[in-house]
A and B are shown apart, each in its own frame.
Chain A
């Protein structure tokens, strides 16, 4: 019997795509605020956010602690919603306190656009595979 894949390809694709578009929005905010005094450039740790979201959906071999009282804190680190935003470490902050470095932001932006598009293709491929599997004789 084939080993069960660790992540369901649709759930993985959906989560990754959601985080990609979220990151796109954060990077877009950085570009929009390139001239705003005191604005600090933000980003998300994509790998950590993806792991956190997938584990929150039960794709984890981590066993949660049982909660027996209303006062107990939940053991899971999963928080539904969007990942934590981190401030980017600035190499050359401007005098008005703005830490948006255009070269860095543009590189991240281009990278994220490309990876979002790749993720969309993977997801489309996963759908196609399912359709193929349902078609008799591969037709």
Chain B
């Protein structure tokens, strides 16, 4: 039934957007992580969305195709006393841009809310269709 499929489409979007929100949280949390578990400087992560056809004909859900590391150069600060400082005394901080991350966060949160509303609409319509049987 199409309304069930509407619910599925909205839920794929909720999943994708929450993953996007997760990467934003990860990026913001690691904005000052000069070293990760592999000994490298943390790199900002971005999700790549892709639309996927649902099992029901016609509808397209969305999924996270991949999570890519940003290749932007990291922020370099002169701090010779830092344990991660290189030979010339510079420390490379992660290439996390806090402004971009905040914009990304607001975008993800708005899209999440919108798809939640779409889900709610589908739910209410299904409720109404059940009311028809009761009359």
Partner of B49, one of A35, A42, A102, A120: A35
From 51 to 71 in chain B, residues with beta carbon under 8 angstroms from any chain A beta carbon are 51, 54, 56-62
Contacts known (A21-B2, A124-B131, A127-B132); A117 close to B60, Cβ less than 8 A: no
A-B interface contact total, Cβ < 8 Å? 102
The stretch from A1-9, A24-32, A64-72 touching chain B is: A24-32
Contact between chains at B12 and A32 (CB < 8 Å): yes
Number of A residues, CB within 8 Å of B? 31
User: Does B82 sit at the interface, judged by CB under 8 A?
Assistant: no
Interface of B is mostly: helix
Q: Once bound together, how far apart are the Cα atoms of A132 and B121, in whole Å? A: 31
User: Which residues of the partner chain A approach B2 to less than 8 Å between Cβ atoms?
Assistant: 18, 21-22, 24-25
Contact indicator per residue, chain A 43-74, by CB within 8 Å of chain B (1) or not (0): 00000000000000000000000000000000
| A36 closest partner in B (C-beta) | B49
In the complex, which of the residues A29, A85, A106, A117 has the most CB atoms of chain B within 10 Å of its own CB atom? A29
Q: Tell me the residues in window 18-74 of chain B with beta carbons closer than 8 Å to chain A beta carbons.
A: 20, 48-51, 54, 56-62
Complexed CA–CA distance, A26 and B56 (Å): 11
| Bound-state Cα–Cα, A24 to B57, Å | 13
Q: What are the residues of chain B within 8 A of A22 when measuring CB–CB?
A: 2, 58
Say if the beta carbon of B96 comes within 8 Å of chain A. Answer: no
Given A25-B59, A35-B49, A82-B58, does the pair A127, B135 have CB atoms closer than 8 Å?
Answer: yes
Bound complex: CA of A26 vs CA of B62, how far in Å? 13
Per-residue contact bits, chain A 81-102, to B (CB 8 Å; 1 contact, 0 not) = 1100100000000000000001
Asked whether, in the complex, the Cβ of A28 is within 8 Å of the Cβ of B58, the reply is no
B98 at the interface (CB under 8 A from A): no
Chain B residues positioned under 8 Å from A16 (CB to CB): none
Some 27 contacts from A to B, beta carbons below 8 A apart, are A21-B1, A22-B58, A24-B2, A24-B6, A24-B122, A25-B2, A25-B3, A25-B59, A28-B6, A28-B118, A28-B122, A29-B9, A31-B118, A32-B13, A32-B118, A33-B49, A33-B51, A35-B49, A42-B60, A109-B118, A109-B121, A113-B121, A117-B125, A120-B128, A123-B132, A124-B131, A127-B135
Nearest CB of chain B from residue A33's CB, rounded to whole Å: 5
Least distance between B132 CB and chain A CB atoms (Å): 4
| B61 partner residues in chain A, CB cutoff 8 A | 29, 32
